[in-house]
Amino acid sequence: MTMKKIVTAALLASVTLTTIHADEIKGRGASFPGPVYKAWTAGYFKATGVKVNYTPTGSGDGIKSIGKRMVDFGGSDKPLKAEKLAKDKLFMFPSVVGSIVLAYNIDGVKDGELKLSRAAIAGIFSGKITKWDDAAIKAQNPDLKLPSEPITIAVRADKSGTTFNFTYFLNKLDPSFKVSKKPSWTAPKVVAGKSNSGVSANIQQIKNSIGYIEYSYKIKLGLPAAQVENKENKYINPTLKSFQDAAKYATWTPDNDFYAVIGDPAGATSYPIVAATFILLPKEKVEMNKKVTKFFDWAYTNGDAAATELGYVPLPKETKDQIRAYWEAKKIK
């Protein structure tokens, strides 16, 4: 190869690398939607050649990272109110709906066998119920051999939108629970892990533990999860159908950047701990925002099957159309 050809090849390689780097979209935040974003980004790369790099670091980090403009978009399971969005100069829209399950590690108790009443859940996570054979738990599980062993609760170590939505549900059970991304737990035996994967790992490893994780992590790891009493006093297993029934009660409007917390919805067949997850965009990054919304537009059109397979609930068509109109109104589509 002549020197001229070598230089030309090097220049072409440089241009190619620059183009790839320029097309890469970077996001970070909520671990709750991590599995579905992984599927979507892989599908998008295969379809378009554009790389979307999403790191599931937790909602708190997602809000912080986009606030400091460290990434192109942030992910958060905690929706931000209008004042916060205005202060940080952000747009917000939902991407998908998921659910939080109470996974456990109790010898001899299989998936779906444990029933937990609202009173029992509040008691366990407040520390008022400390052993598995407590009368409040046995009342709904007379045929289970529950051990007279201390309960370890597995929680998040980081600021977490999953925690925000779970404590939102706990607050509905007992108003003394503070809704928070990182609460101070009062139970006597608490183990904290980073992200949904960290909490899942702790549940796997610690006998007689229980913790809150996103449903797809339960599926991926084969963890048993409880039936949970909903506000209609029905015990509901975490299933895609019960999540879909719950998601019907979500109310969205572009007027407040789609702010909504779905937790503890009505409906006799609704699973009670569901949540939407949201995307945060910086208002001033118009051209990059168009690239980000192009990715989510592709996901809304092509990603429902992957979302459903992983146990998420795709947004209804009406909501997707509202979001597309919102993008157009904000000039980011």
The segment(s) of the chain belonging to CATH 3.40.190.10 are: 21-97+252-261+277-329, 100-247
What is the Cα–Cα distance from 209 to 112, expressed in whole angstroms? 15
- The Cα-based distances of 212 to 163, 164, 255 in angstroms read 8, 11, 32
Computed over its alpha carbons, how large is the radius of gyration of the chain? Answer: 22
Please report where in the chains the tokens 């990272």 appear, as a residue: 65
Report yes or no: 186 and 158 within 8 Å, Cβ to Cβ.
no
Cα–Cα distance between 145 and 71 in angstroms, integer?
Answer: 50
The domain defined by 21-97+252-261+277-329 folds into D-Maltodextrin-Binding Protein; domain 2 (3.40.190)
What string of pLDDT tens digits covers the 333 residues of the chain?
444 444 444 434 434 333 344 579 999 999 999 999 999 999 999 999 999 999 999 999 999 999 999 999 999 999 999 999 999 999 999 999 999 999 999 999 999 999 999 999 999 999 999 999 999 999 999 999 999 999 999 999 999 999 999 999 999 999 999 999 999 999 999 999 999 999 999 999 999 999 999 999 999 999 999 999 999 999 999 999 999 999 999 888 999 999 999 889 999 999 999 999 999 999 999 999 999 999 999 999 999 999 999 999 999 999 999 999 999 999 999
User: Domain 100-247 is of which CATH architecture?
Assistant: 3-Layer(aba) Sandwich (3.40)
